[in-house]
């Protein structure tokens, strides 16, 4: 996505009330783009960007396998940073429109760990 896209995503999430705890958490089972608090909820945020529609929208690119890797990575994170707070998986989809501007779609509770 590049540095500019990462910055745009960060600003958008902050404007929505997210407070980033960690960027690009990585473990042997996967990576989580952002781990952030929204209120009292710990959110594991997958950020997907698409410049064209040739391969579908950014939201459509989150496969079942990707969701499984995110869940495993979240388990790793929580093993290192235990919390009693509610947790959820969010998706920030960024699709570039014809004018070169990002169109953001934020899906809170996009999927569950089951």
Q: Return the residue matching tokens 């940073």.
A: 81
pLDDT digits (tens, 9 = 90+) for 38-82: 999 999 999 988 776 665 566 676 788 999 999 999 999 999 999
What is the predicted pLDDT for the residue at 54? 60
CA neighbor of 37 nearest in space, from 13, 69, 1 = 13
- Angle subtended at Cα 55 by Cα 53 and Cα 56, rounded to the nearest 5 degrees: 60
| Residues contacting residue 53 through CB under 8 Å, at least 6 positions apart | 95
pLDDT digits (tens, 9 = 90+) for 11-43: 999 999 999 999 999 999 999 999 999 999 999
User: Top-level CATH class of 2-111?
Assistant: alpha beta
Domain definitions of the chain by residue range: 2-111
pLDDT band at residue 95 under the 50/70/90 scheme? confident
What is the predicted pLDDT for the residue at 108? 97
| Single pTM value for the model | 0.91
What is the predicted pLDDT for the residue at 56? 58
What is the predicted pLDDT for the residue at 2? 60
């Amino acid at each position: 996505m590049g540095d500019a896209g990462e910055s745009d995503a960060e600003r958008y999430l902050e404007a929505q009330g997210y407070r980033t705890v960690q960027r690009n958490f990585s473990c042997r089972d996967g990576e989580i783009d952002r781990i952030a608090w929204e209120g009292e909820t710990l959110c594991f945020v997958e950020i997907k960007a698409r410049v064209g529609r040739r391969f579908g929208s950014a939201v459509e690119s989150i496969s079942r396998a990707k969701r499984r890797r995110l869940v495993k990575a979240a388990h790793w994170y929580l093993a290192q940073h235990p919390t009693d707070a509610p947790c959820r998986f969010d998706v920030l989809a960024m699709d570039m429109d014809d004018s070169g501007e990002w169109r953001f779609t934020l899906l809170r509770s996009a999927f569950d760990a089951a």
